[in-house]
Amino acid sequence: MQINIYYGGRGLMDDPTLFCVGKMQEVLEDLRVTVETYHLYELKNSITTLPQTLKNADGIILATTVEWHGIGGYMQQFLDACWLYGDKELISRLYMCPVVMATTYGEREGNLHLSEAWEILGGIPCSGVCGYILDSTVLENNSDYINIIERTAEGLYRTVNQHLPSLPASNHAVKQKVSFTKNIDLTPQESEQLSQYASDEIYVAQQKEDIQELTTFFRDLMNTEEEDDDSRFVNDLRNRFTPQAGMGGNYRIVISSGVPLTISVKDGKLDCFYGDIDKYDVEVETTYDCMNEIVSGRMTFQRAFMSGEMTLRGEFMMLRNLDILFPFGI
C-alpha cells in the first residue's frame, strides 16, 4: 500500500500541520505502508505535473494550514491541476484524508473545502482531522491530541486496506450536470509556458502586430476575390435590364463595404459600373450573399429590404422600380 501526502503550507518550523502529518507518517510506516511526501512550497514551479504522482497511490492525505483565509494558494493550485490534468478515472478510486490545522479562524471550513473539492473531482473523502492550534508545541505536549492524530492515520489505513464503500454524495450529481472539464490538448508544461508568454508584454505586443499583419493580408486577399466575384453583377444587371418608360434614376449599391456599384438609368439606357458619381437618388447597402440571391432570382430588392438584409436611403418606390427594371425572378 502507498499513501501520498501533499502538504500545502509554507513550511514554517512551528507549523502544527507539519507535526500532524509527521506523526501520521510514523504510524503508517509502522503499518508497513509506503509514504511519499510532497511539499508543494518546494515544488511550486511544477505543481501542474503533480497529478501524475497519484497513479502509484492507494490513498492520499491533503494537508494544509489556515493562516489567514482559506486553504492557501499552493493547495488550491494542486486541486486546480487535478481538475485540469488529473486522471478522473484514477481519482475516482482514491481515498483522501484531509488534515487542516489553523492558526486563525477557519479550520472546519478548510476541512470541508478539501472534502467537497475531492468529491467534485470524483474521489472518495474519508474522515480527517482539523483543529485550531497556535503552536506545534501544543500538540507535542498533549498525549490526547497525539492519540487523535494516530487514530486518524489508523482509520485511513483501514479504509484504504478494506476498500470501504461510501454513500453517494450530491456533489457527484452536480458535477455530472454542470461541471465539465474543457479538453486541453496542451501538456501542463505547455500550458504553463503559454501563461508565461501571456504575461510577457513584449511577446504579447509582437503577437498583436503579427495578428494585425495577417488580418490585413487576408482581408486584402478576400477583398480582391470579392471584387472579382462582384464584377459579374455588372454583366448580370446589363443582361437582365428591361427598359421601362418613365423609370430612371441613379442607384448606389454598397456590397459588403466594398467598392460601390453604380446603376444609372436614363432615357431607357443603362450605365452600370463600379465607382462613384456626384449625385444619387437611392443609396443601398447589402451583403454579397444577398446580392447573389437577387441576381440568381431567389430574392427581390423589395423583399431584401423588408427582411432587413438591405438598408435604404432614399425613396422606397425607386427601390421597387429596380425589381421592374431588372426582373431576375421571371
If asked whether residues 22 and 81 sit together in one domain, one would say yes
Distance CA 103, CA 54 (A): 29
Predicted pLDDT of residue 187: 59
Report the CATH number that the domain containing residue 155 is assigned in CATH. 3.40.50.360
Looking up cell 489553523, which residue turns up? Answer: 102
CB 53 within 8 A of CB 65: no
- Please give the distance of CA 306 from its chain centroid, rounded to a whole number: 39
Among residues 295, 324, 294, 326, which one has the least CA distance to residue 307?
A: 294
Report the CATH number that the domain containing residue 300 is assigned in CATH. 3.30.1050.10
If asked whether residues 115 and 138 sit together in one domain, one would say yes
If asked whether residues 206 and 231 sit together in one domain, one would say no
Among residues 325, 308, 306, 326, which one has the least CA distance to residue 316?
A: 306
If asked whether residues 78 and 6 sit together in one domain, one would say yes
Give the tens place of pLDDT for each residue, 189-218.
Answer: 556 555 555 556 676 677 777 787 777 766
In a domain, 330, yes or no: no
If asked whether residues 117 and 245 sit together in one domain, one would say no
- With 80 as the cut, is the pLDDT of residue 138 above it? yes
Higher pLDDT residue, 204 or 11?
11
If asked whether residues 9 and 156 sit together in one domain, one would say yes
If asked whether residues 39 and 71 sit together in one domain, one would say yes
If asked whether residues 99 and 167 sit together in one domain, one would say yes
DSSP 230-289: HHHHHHHHHHH----TT--EEEEEEETTSSPEEEEEETTEEEEEES--S--SEEEEE-HH
Give the tens place of pLDDT for each residue, 34-48.
Answer: 999 999 999 989 999
Give the tens place of pLDDT for each residue, 286-323.
Answer: 998 898 899 888 889 888 888 888 998 888 888 888 98
> Mean pLDDT over residues 230-243, rounded?
84
What percent of the chain lies above the pLDDT cut of 90? 50
Query: Which H or E run includes 80?
Result: helix 73-85
In a domain, 311, yes or no: yes
Give me the residues paired with residue 284 across strands. 253, 312
Distance CA 285, CA 252 (A): 8
Predicted pLDDT of residue 330: 62
Predicted pLDDT of residue 172: 63
In a domain, 166, yes or no: yes
Predicted pLDDT of residue 48: 92
If asked whether residues 177 and 201 sit together in one domain, one would say no
In a domain, 199, yes or no: yes
If asked whether residues 117 and 40 sit together in one domain, one would say yes
Distance CA 110, CA 65 (A): 9
What percent of the chain lies above the pLDDT cut of 70? 85
- Domain count of the fold of the chain: 3
Distances (CA, A) of 52 to 38, 43, 112, 182, 204: 12, 14, 24, 19, 31
Predicted pLDDT of residue 52: 93
Write the burial class of residue 3 (CB in 10 Å: 0-12 exposed, 13-18 middle, 19+ buried). buried
- With 50 as the cut, is the pLDDT of residue 227 above it? no
Predicted pLDDT of residue 277: 87
Predicted pLDDT of residue 205: 73
pTM: 0.56
If asked whether residues 177 and 304 sit together in one domain, one would say no
Confidence of residue 177 (pLDDT cuts 50, 70, 90): low
Look up the domain containing 298 and give its range: 227-325
If asked whether residues 232 and 263 sit together in one domain, one would say yes
Distance CA 318, CA 330 (A): 19
- Largest interatomic CA distance in the chain: 111
Count of CB atoms situated within 10 Å of the CB of 222: 12
> Mean pLDDT over residues 108-136, rounded?
93
Distance CA 245, CA 85 (A): 75
Predicted pLDDT of residue 153: 96
